[in-house]
Structure 1
Amino acid sequence: MVMAMILFNYKAYPEAIGKGALRLSRYLDEIGEEFGVKISVSPQYLDIPTIIRETRNLEVFSQHVDPVKGAYTGSVSPLSLKEAGVSGSLLNHSERKLKISSIKEGVLTLKDLGLTSIVCAEDELIASMISKLSPDFIAVEPPELIGTGISVSKAKPELLERTLQLKEFKIRILCGAGISSGEDVERAMEIGMDGVLVSSSFVKSKNPKEKALELIEAYSKFI
């Protein structure tokens, strides 16, 4: 399992689907190799096999997983994700929220399959509850900042500082929401985060390769 992470979440942005997803992933793959750091991406499900096949340096994560097997039409099978070659999955993103019981099942299922769990939490109280489920990572993302360009590391540094106590449970802490610049990344890492989640600032950038370079260069200073 990786010990620190910068994860680029493609969500369902048109710019990051199909050929666009592969183009963005190749940028990240190239820049990650240049700086000698592992880069993680979370693309649409149908793009996962292509990205795994066509890149060398990327860890690929699912955006969601359903901890089920058998007669569950429309569900995202954890076993199918493992067979596709993913490293793990996000759970409980604010755009795909889950009940605590489903989070628990998801974490356990991923662990049984040898996959990494990244569970999102909107604040330190939710993060504390989730910590009892022993995920590999907790990603603190205040939903009101997602997509705003106002970074959590600038707007709510005290929130991030309060979550650091969860490290005593051997859980690694990430942050996301509004991470838009190298400075945002550096502030998060200086506070003590184990990494960051990035989305629209990269995917929707007029020059995504340049933006990726800025973000990854900042991250690499702490790895």
Structure 2
Amino acid sequence: MFVLINLKAYPCDPIDIASIAAEVAANTGVRIAVAPQAADLAAVAETGVETWAQHVSSIEHGSHTGSTLAEAASRAGAEGTLLNHSEHRLRLADIDGSLRAAERAGLETIVCANNPKQIAAASRLDPDSVAVEPPELIGTGTPVSKADPDIVTDSVDAASGTPVLCGAGISTGEDLVAASDLGAEGVLLASGVAKADDPRTALESLVDPIA
């Protein structure tokens, strides 16, 4: 199982969480990555944790002020990127452009989607993985695997062989196991670790059932 911690723009210490994630990954053998703000990519990568960008833009080098160049994210230490998160929606053409930009820069990709129908469309664009995240469950602490397990199983079917991750409301080891049982190959989470009073304990408890 792949565990990707999205730090969003939360007021957490990205270096502290990245260092914890690197240690937990090394101690357990679980694949754990951290997606910080773009300005923190290099510092997070220096901790040794697998580092992901929260987004890259569908651009090449040129006059694109305010965009996130895939090559710049890669140079900063990113190994992959999220795309089309529910908090950063893209048009289908822009998802495709960002996928091609990520491919050009050697970044692994996860395209997020709200439901199985969108998962099917995203999978046809040939990302490395897709992630199903019903937006109404994000940050609630109620995982989709409990709220509506059919969304996960239907997304796995709709993905036609593309690996599926499960997001929204993931916070416990039980949630991770449930996602795996439904066919997901990883999870996305944010507040369960990034806003935890004790991020180390939260992350260790999360991965303990699969370590």
The TM tier, using the shorter chain, reads over 0.9
Q: Which residue of 2 is the match for residue 92 of structure 1?
A: 84
Structure 1 residue runs of 4 or more that deviate by more than 4 Å after TM superposition: none
Taking the aligned partners of 2:34 and 2:96, their CA distance within structure 1 comes to: 23
One of 138, 147, 153 as aligned partner of 2:130: 138
Equivalent residues in 2 for 1:18-33 (5 A)?
20-33=13-26
1:168 deviates by 3.4
Indicate yes or no: 2:5 matched with 1:8.
yes
Taking the aligned partners of 1:217 and 1:124, their CA distance within structure 2 comes to: 29
Change in CA separation of 1:167 and 1:131 when aligned onto 2, cut-off 3 Å = closer
Taking the aligned partners of 1:165 and 1:189, their CA distance within structure 2 comes to: 14
TM-score relative to the length of structure 1: 0.91
TM-score relative to the length of structure 2: 0.96
Taking the aligned partners of 1:115 and 1:218, their CA distance within structure 2 comes to: 29
The C-alpha deviation readout for 1:129-161, integer Å capped at 9, x for no partner, is 111101001010000000001111111111100
The C-alpha deviation readout for 1:74-132, integer Å capped at 9, x for no partner, is 11111111111211110000000000000011112211222111100000011111111
Taking the aligned partners of 1:207 and 1:96, their CA distance within structure 2 comes to: 28
Taking the aligned partners of 1:153 and 1:164, their CA distance within structure 2 comes to: 13
| Contact 2:2/2:30, CA 8 A, preserved across alignment | no
One of 62, 71, 75 as aligned partner of 1:79: 71
Indicate yes or no: 2:183 matched with 1:181.
no
1:174 deviates by 0.2
Gaps of 5+ in 2: none
Q: Which residue of 2 is the match for residue 218 of structure 1?
A: 209
Secondary structure of 2:160's match? helix
1:27 deviates by 1.0
One of 45, 50, 74 as aligned partner of 2:43: 50
Change in CA separation of 1:123 and 1:167 when aligned onto 2, cut-off 3 Å = closer
In angstroms, what is the RMSD of aligned CA positions? 1.2
Taking the aligned partners of 2:101 and 2:167, their CA distance within structure 1 comes to: 24
Gaps of 5+ in 1: none
Secondary structure of 1:107's match? helix
